[in-house]
Copies of this chain bind each other. A is one copy, B any other.
Amino acid sequence: MSSPSPKLALFEQFALVAKTLGHPQRLELIEQLGQGPRSVDMLAEKVGAPIANISQHLQSMRRAGLVAAERQGKYVVYRLADASVLAAMQAIQRVAENNLAEVDRIVRGYFGQRDSLEPITREELSDRLRDGMVTVLDVRPSDEFALGHLPGALNVPLDELDARLSTLDPDKDIVAYCRGAYCVMSFEAVSRLRVRGFRARRLEEGMPEWAAAGNAVAS
């Protein structure tokens, strides 16, 4: 083996992947695509940025192997290249959680005591689902629910929660979830439900993590 070491070339490829994850909007795109495949204009709307800008980000993400695209009529639908992309984003979040004081400050300031809403693990939720005494509430927008959701989950988007409280069984415990660990919707939902006297808790993670753990996903 006399060819030059591949080390540098490989590390340049690894660096390409990492730097492509190094922009907040691209991370939001991954979070969105974690809920299911989406078109460019839908992604632009979700992330709140101009379509041309989002398309540019998606091109760089495609080159870096983070997403794949396929044409469906006049739409181009993007999806995460594979499960390793979400895993990489979660690994990065772990580093930030463990080692960045600023993350701790943001989380304390907004989410309050992380444990104050008694986050429930997906293992614990699986157990609770078997005894049938818990209502699983998906508080994402209905288009994200349609892409995939926990089996038996009820879709009550956060902005409809107040109007639909009467449809919820007050005798059952409620577990609410949304897009992921740092999505605020389920925090908001659990707070509001508790004010109204419901026994509500928050699933620690989102739908993508549930799916990545091998659990069933309904649609």
Q: Which of B15, B66, B187 contacts A22 (CB 8 A)?
A: B15
Contacts of A64 in B (CB 8 A): 100
Question: Are B100 and A65 in touch, CB under 8 angstroms?
Answer: yes
**Chain A contact residues, majority secondary structure:** helix
Interface size class of A (residues with CB under 8 A): 35 or more
B27–A14 touching, CB < 8 Å? yes
Contact indicator A95/B99 (Cβ below 8 Å) = no
Q: In the bound complex, how far is the Cα of B179 from the Cα of A59, in angstroms? A: 34
Given contacts A110-B1, A110-B3, A182-B10, contact A96 B17 (CB under 8 A): yes
A13 touches B99 (CB 8 A): no
Q: How far is the CB of A188 from chain B (nearest CB, A)?
A: 7
A19 & B17 in contact (Cβ 8 Å cutoff): no
Bound-complex Cα distance A184 to B2 (A): 12
Question: Could you pull out 7 A-B pairs where Cβ atoms are within 8 angstroms?
Answer: A7-B183, A11-B27, A14-B24, A65-B96, A65-B98, A65-B100, A87-B91
**Given A13-B106, A14-B93: 4 more A-B contacts, CB < 8 Å:** A14-B24, A15-B23, A18-B92, A84-B98
Q: Smallest CB–CB gap between A124 and chain B, Å?
A: 24
A82-B99, A84-B98 known; A92+B17 contact, CB < 8 A: yes
B66 touches A95 (CB 8 A): yes
Bound: A170/B149 CA distance, A: 58
- The answer to whether A24 touches B15 (Cβ under 8 A) is yes
* Bound CA–CA A172/B27 (angstroms): 50
Least CB distance, A34 to chain B, in whole angstroms = 13
Chain A, 79-126, CB within 8 A of any chain B CB: 81-82, 84-85, 87-96, 98-100, 102-103, 106-107, 109-111
The answer to the question of A45 belonging to the interface, with a C-beta cut-off of 8 Å to chain B, is: no
